[in-house]
Amino acid sequence: MQKVQKVVIAGGGTAGWIAAATLSSQLGSLIDITLIESADIGTVGVGEATIPTHKAFHRLIGVDEQEFMQKTQATFKLGIEFSNWGDIGESYFHAFGQIGRSTWMGDFQHLWQHANTLGWGGELQDYCFELQAAKAGKFGKDNKTNINYAFHLDASLYASFLSEFSQARGVKRIEGTIDQIEMDSETGHISKLILTNGKSVSGDLFIDCTGFKGLLINGALGVGFEDWSHWLPMNSAWAVQTESKQDIPPYTKSIARDASWQWRIPLQKRVGNGLVFCSDYISDQDALQLLTDNLEGDMLTQPRLLKFKTGKRKKTWFKNCVAIGLSSGFLEPLESTSIHLSQIAATRLVQMFPFNGMDETLQTHYNSYVDGEVNSIRDFIILHYTLNRRPEPFWQHAATMDIPDSLRHRMELYTKTSIAFQNDGDLFRVDSWNQVMLGQGAKVEGYHHMGRLVKNDNLRKAFNDLQMQIKKAVEGMPMHSDFLRQYGVLSNQ
């Protein structure tokens, strides 16, 4: 009765091999998987930072963490340090860990707001273990330590790692470039891909991982693109690798600059750098100069210019084609969500695999999940831009631009009541919204008064005890570089 057996993945790179690894590890005995990629077609390859869902993905497909880290030059990531985003000279962390202790009545920030009215609450970041470890440059994990982390990795090496992983589980790789796409005249479905060498590859389900071009979902099926440039106007990036000159920090750096922001991503033996910018406010050459003036360490590669448009495909799954990766849309790398979006798209496809054939109800259900999560991530990224007090024209535009109603509601609710929330399907937790709202300078007018139900002395002791526990735990941790050596993923050379 199975109508869909042959899956063809068009394009390799990180997205293609994530799709192959997910499908082969979970459904490998039920389906036939072929991936087509060309060595002549380069990949974007700037997505070198991830979020904590990466660990869950690896557990799902059966990846050994140490082997993965060795083969991809990976390091640990506890969050992102944002500098100059609220205003020039300011900085804050968006860390991955839990902040304080929450109750069913309300989250920790309400207790913290109450403590501040009493004069001793301190900073919200004082109550996050991962944040304090990141600031100290430390990392450690064992069976007793509950630490929330992600990775920095070499995206090209990661694609190679997953390629080896997938082919060991039966995925067939074909080297070639897609020349033509044949369609079924009755259904309008894709029937086969014709390569430049004349070889044809037929399939029942096609996964488009061909990057920004979207050769299948856009080129063949004509699914349009929803442009979000009016909310996220960054449209260009320079990327370059530099030598590592210092200890490896366990976090990503994001530094806001004029009409741009710079990333620094520390790997084991090099640093990934880039400048994301809006070409409406700064030229390509001026942006390159701004990046090179602010590099730490000698360049190992020549800077590479990337052009993009933020937004998403109007339908991610249409007829017998599912777009995964850049072909489905693009959100700039500010919160390191690109690799996650490929992983979650692939795992949802496993959950909703169309064994009995293409069904519009199933496709609508899949697309609604994708839209909900991507829209929420979009709002989270816009928050960084709209909540700023910088004087330059670009940043003033960002501070005054129209924003989605969904984000406006979140911001108004937070400033009036200190309530942050996570809907079903939202990627970012309450702790994330708290850190970015406050880090960007949101002024809170009110909060839940549950703190008044606790005696002041008891509340203060609980806060002090939590700070001491975090301080003691951080003091007992090794430096990040030392732990990488202990863990067997970083050589002593």
192 is catalytic: no
**CB of 439 closer than 8 Å to CB of 82:** yes
**Cα distance between residue 6 and residue 270, in whole Å:** 40
Place of tokens 């100290």: 136
The single residue of 77, 253, 315, 319 carrying the catalytic annotation is 77
CA-based nearest residue to 335, from 292, 396, 378, 372:
378
3-state secondary structure string across the chain: CCCCCEEEEECCHHHHHHHHHHHHHHHCCCCEEEEEECCCCCCCCCCCECCCHHHHHHHHHCCCHHHHHHHHCCEEECEEEEECCCCCCCEEEEECCCECCCCCCCCHHHHHHHHHHCCCCCCHHHHEHHHHHHHCCECCCCCCCCCCCEEECCHHHHHHHHHHHHHCCCCEEEECCEEEEEECCCCCCEEEEEECCCCEEECCEEEECCHHHCHHHHHHCCCCEEECCCCCCCCEEEEEEEECCCCCCCCEEEEEECCEEEEEEECCCEEEEEEEECCCCCCHHHHHHHHHHCCCCCECCCCEEEECCCEEECCCEECCEEECHHHHEECCHHHCCHHHHHHHHHHHHHHCCCCCCCCHHHHHHHHHHHHHHHHHHHHHHHHHHHCCCCCCHHHHHHHHCCCCHHHHHHHHHHHHHCCCCCCCCCCCCHHHHHHHHHHCCCCCCCCCHHHHHCCHHHHHHHHHHHHHHHHHHHHCCCEHHHHHHHCCCCCCC
Enzyme catalytic residues: 77
